[in-house]
Chains A and B, each alone.
Chain A
Amino acid sequence: TAGITQAPTSQILAAGRSMTLRCTQDMRHNAMYWYRQDLGLGLRLIHYSNTAGTTGKGEVPDGYSVSRANTDDFPLTLASAVPSQTSVYFCASGRDSGANVLTFGAGSRLTVL
């Protein structure tokens, strides 16, 4: 089934440690996104990529980095995790960077202690 795969599903991480959340899509979508979802808040964009080789900062980029070496993969790295990064992280993709329907991965629940 075509879609987006995220890993890990959940993770508990000690503060100060680094972590990479993986995201792979098989729909040949050009645009990919990382969101975080916190209780009572809307989805907030962390970073995005309109096409392979390019990335951009979203609303809440501090403490996170991304890369887009190819069309399919869009990993999100926390260089030195802090408790405020405890959240559910969703990777999403769209056909292009226009007003397109997004397909979401199942999410990665991260707890930073």
Chain B
Amino acid sequence: GQNIDQPTEMTATEGAIVQINCTYQTSGFNGLFWYQQHAGEAPTFLSYNVLDGLEEKGRFSSFLSRSKGYSYLLLKELQMKDSASYLCAVSGRDYQLIWGAGTKLIIKP
């Protein structure tokens, strides 16, 4: 079957660095997405990886290893506004997205 796993919840301190992991098993692979979702709001796009390696975008970076079925989202210099859920999604063989349940990130001062 197809499966996306990510931790349910993580806690980090303001100003620190946090890494949110995502492992996947899918039939076909056309890229991996990370979305951010604040409580009560819609998901918004953060990053997209289709080749192995690190993509950096400001304070956020995303890494992909296709051979290991593994990705992580790295958030640096954490701010209180980064408190949100982070959703990992894989575009499978038919390009439909398979979504993880999301990781709720709690930032403490």
The finding on whether chains A and B are genuine partners in a shared complex, rather than unrelated, reads yes
Contact A42 B42, CB 8 Å, known A99-B95, A101-B33, A101-B48:
no
A90–B31 CA distance with the chains assembled, in angstroms: 22
Pairwise interchain contact B96-A48, C-beta atoms closer than 8 A:
yes
Pairwise interchain contact A104-B43, C-beta atoms closer than 8 A:
yes
- Most chain B CB within 10 A, of A48, A103, A104, A106, is at A104
Inter-chain contact total with CB atoms closer than 8 Å: 47
Interface residues of B (CB under 8 A from A): 4, 8, 30-31, 33, 41-45, 48, 50, 87, 89, 91, 95-102
In the complex formed, the residue of A with least CB distance to B41 is A106
Interface residues of A (CB under 8 A from B): 40-45, 48, 58, 90, 97-99, 101-107
- Most chain B CB within 10 A, of A90, A99, A104, is at A99
Pairwise interchain contact A45-B97, C-beta atoms closer than 8 A:
yes
Contact A45 B96, CB 8 Å, known A40-B101, A99-B30, A101-B33:
yes
A76–B75 CA distance with the chains assembled, in angstroms: 36
Say how far B40's CB is from chain A's closest CB, in angstroms.
8
Give every chain A residue within 8 A of B98 (Cβ-Cβ): 42
Pairwise interchain contact B42-A97, C-beta atoms closer than 8 A:
no
A40–B104 CA distance with the chains assembled, in angstroms: 10
Give every chain B residue within 8 A of A103 (Cβ-Cβ): 45
